[in-house]
Amino acid sequence: MSPVGRALHHRFESVCRSELHRLRRKTACLTAEDRAVVDALALEVAGGLAARLDAALDAPEAGAIAPAVMRLFAVTPQNLEECK
């Protein structure tokens, strides 16, 4: 995975966990096991999206879009350093 891909994966996971935490009251009726399944599925989807985006950025013709993707998903040079 590229440095940008790792940063995207970290960013997507962070946003996903934040949203899952924010939705805790709405999912309070779920059992702990069901909530764990929902959390795992959401994190798997977020990871899959990051991986597909990383693969698209890895294509030879995609070099020009990397800065736009980084800006769109708030990936900064600092994020890149943190994910090494």
| Residue whose entry in the numeric block shows the structure tokens 């790792």 | 6
- Averaged pLDDT for residues 18-31: 94
Stated pTM of the model:
0.79
22 pLDDT more than 90: yes
- Averaged pLDDT for residues 4-21: 91
Find the domain containing 32 and state its range. Answer: 3-82
Q: How confident is the model at residue 84 (pLDDT cuts 50, 70, 90)?
A: low
Report how far residue 26's alpha carbon sits from residue 31's, in angstroms, rounded to the nearest whole number: 12
Give the distance from CA 81 to its chain's centroid.
17
Quote the number of domains for the chain. Answer: 1
Question: How confident is the prediction for the chain on average, in pLDDT?
Answer: 87
42-79 tens-digit pLDDT: 999 999 999 998 888 888 877 778 888 888 888 887 77
